[in-house]
Amino acid sequence: MTPPPLHNQEREFTLGRYILRRLLSVIPTLIGVTLVIFLFQRLIPGDPAVAMLGERATEENVARIREQFGLDRPPFLDRDALAEGDLAGFFDSQYTRYFSRLIRLDLGESIHRRIPVAETLRERFPATLELSLFSMFIALLIGIPFGIASASRRNSTLDGITMVSSLIGVSMPIFWLGIMLIMLFAVLLQWLPSGGRLSTGIEIQSITNLLLLDSLITWNIPGFLDALQHIILPGIALATIPAAIITRMTRSSMLDVLQEDYIRTASAKGLSERIVLFRHALKNAFLPVITIIGIQVGILLAGAVLTETIFSWPGIGKWVYDSILGRDYPIVQGVTLLIAIIFLLVNLVVDLSYALLDPRISYD
């Protein structure tokens, strides 16, 4: 069943071709995503112009805003124009206008605030990225060791405690946990700040907008410590679910692998438990775990509305949520597209990492 092993050079060639093919396949997927988003947004009732102008909106202003943002055009194709033989008019729709801007890498402007979407995205996405990476770091730090320990001491007290805690972790409402964390660490103990990314008055020179990284690059230790203090509580709150999922996945995957013959052989030939676990079992048990980690990273990056709201974290989650309510189409479109790209890239990385872990996997 297994294909014959390829020579290294040949293997790299195939891999390169595979990556190229995958990247190319991203394009039709993204076009599909833009179509779906466009369709769904316009199925929601409620006019962006009315949403922006509010209770005092006048007909003229509503009409003007609609015209400025092309909302007076049909969403996809204008059949009336075709009937009149106006071919250009037929194709002049909200979608085609959006798409032609997109090709020029222009995400458009927010309807409410008239600020380019890309500009706000550059500011807000790093906040989400930083929080996601930090949470994933915590989740891995907890999930993998406990998963392994639990599997190797199956049915022990440790295993029991780990499994119960992970069950709690998966089912804990983030909202409640967040409030509890703030109450304990910010109000009662006063160890950590209650929210935000940085204290007022602390400045970090912006390079990547990842504050922890920027403060280290510019060797701004007070800035680094302040940013670190701010990210701990939201990081923990956001890490709970992925940590619990990773623990359970690592455990079950390890349990499967530990029953394999080659593990028994390894133990039988006198290798220490540590070497058997870490060198022989872990690598093989990791495949499904990597998949789960990939999905979780994607989910985290898509923005954690609740965590960002409770901890006043200026990321994309709360922003896109408010934009959906305010019918700010360009923002919703921009963010959704970005999230789609992230998911596609994370998937690609996950698939590629399989090959590193398991040489039997090939990419024809």
Partner 1 sequence: MYKKFYLKVFALLIAATIMLAACAPQATPEPPEMEETEEPVMEETEEEAMPEETEEAEETEEPEMEETEAETEEAGDDVFIFGRGADSVRLDPALVTDGESFRVTGQVLEPLYQYELGSTVPIPALAEECTPNDDATVWTCSLRQGVKFHDGTDFNADAVVFNYERWRFTDNPYHYESQVFEYYEYMWGGFDDASVISAVTALDEYTVEFTLTDPLAPFLANLAMDMFAISSPAAIEAAGEDYGLPSVGAVGTGPFKFVSWQEGTEIVIEANQDYWGGPPKVSQVVFRVIPDDSARFLALQAGDIHGLEQAVVEDLQTAEEAEDLYVLTRPALNTGYLAFNYKIEEFNDPRVREAVDLALDKEGLVENFYGDYGEVSTNFLPPLIWGHNEALEDRGFNAERARELLAEAGFPDGLSEVTIAEDLTDVDGNVLFAAGEKVPLRLYYMPVTRFYYPSPEEIGTAMAANLFAAGIEAELYLEGDWPTYLDARRNGTLVGLYMLGWGGDNGDPDNFLGYFFSGSTEPQAREGWYQNVELAEMLQEAAITPDRAERQAMYEEAEQMLYDDVARIWIAHNNTPLIFSDRIDGYGAQPVGADYFEFVEFVD
Interface with partner 1 in residues 210-229 (CB under 8 A): 220-223, 225-226, 228-229
Listed ranges 75-83, 199-207, 240-248, 251-259: which one lies at the site for partner 1 (CB under 8 A): 199-207
Q: Where in 306-325 is the site for partner 1 (CB under 8 A)?
A: 309-312, 314, 318-319, 325
Listed ranges 117-125, 238-246, 336-344, 355-363: which one lies at the site for partner 1 (CB under 8 A): 117-125
Identity of the residue, 86 or 203, whose beta carbon is nearer to partner 1 in the bound complex: 203
Alpha helices in 153-218, H assignment, sequence order: 157-171, 174-181, 211-217
**CB 129 to partner 1: min, Å:** 15
> Judged by CB under 8 A, does residue 209 bind partner 1?
no
b/e code 41-69 from CB counts within 10 Å (16+ = b): bbeeeeebbebbbeeeeeeeebeebbeeb
> Judged by CB under 8 A, does residue 261 bind partner 1?
no
Q: List the one residue from 9, 155, 157, 200 that touches partner 1 (CB under 8 A).
A: 200
The number of residues that bind partner 1 (CB under 8 A) is 74
Type of residue at 194: S
Structure-block tokens of residue 289: 């775990």
**CB 245 to partner 1: min, Å:** 19
Q: Where in 37-56 is the site for partner 1 (CB under 8 A)?
A: 44-48, 50-51, 53-56
Identity of the residue, 89 or 196, whose beta carbon is nearer to partner 1 in the bound complex: 196
Residues 6 or more apart whose Cβ sits within 8 Å of residue 188: none
State in Å, rounded, how far the first CA of the chain is from the last one.
15
Cα separation values, 289 from 58, 131, 250, 285, Å: 56, 21, 6, 7
> Judged by CB under 8 A, does residue 118 bind partner 1?
no
Q: Where in 123-152 is the site for partner 1 (CB under 8 A)?
A: 123-124, 141, 145, 148-149
Point out which residues pair with 116 in neighbouring strands.
109
CA 229, CA 222: separation in Å to the nearest integer?
11
> Judged by CB under 8 A, does residue 207 bind partner 1?
no
> Judged by CB under 8 A, does residue 105 bind partner 1?
no
Query: For the chain, what's the residue count?
Result: 364
Q: Where in 154-193 is the site for partner 1 (CB under 8 A)?
A: 178-179, 182-183, 186-187, 189-193
Give the closest residue to 328 by CA, choosing from 86, 145, 101, 107.
Answer: 107
Cα 291 from chain centroid (whole Å): 14
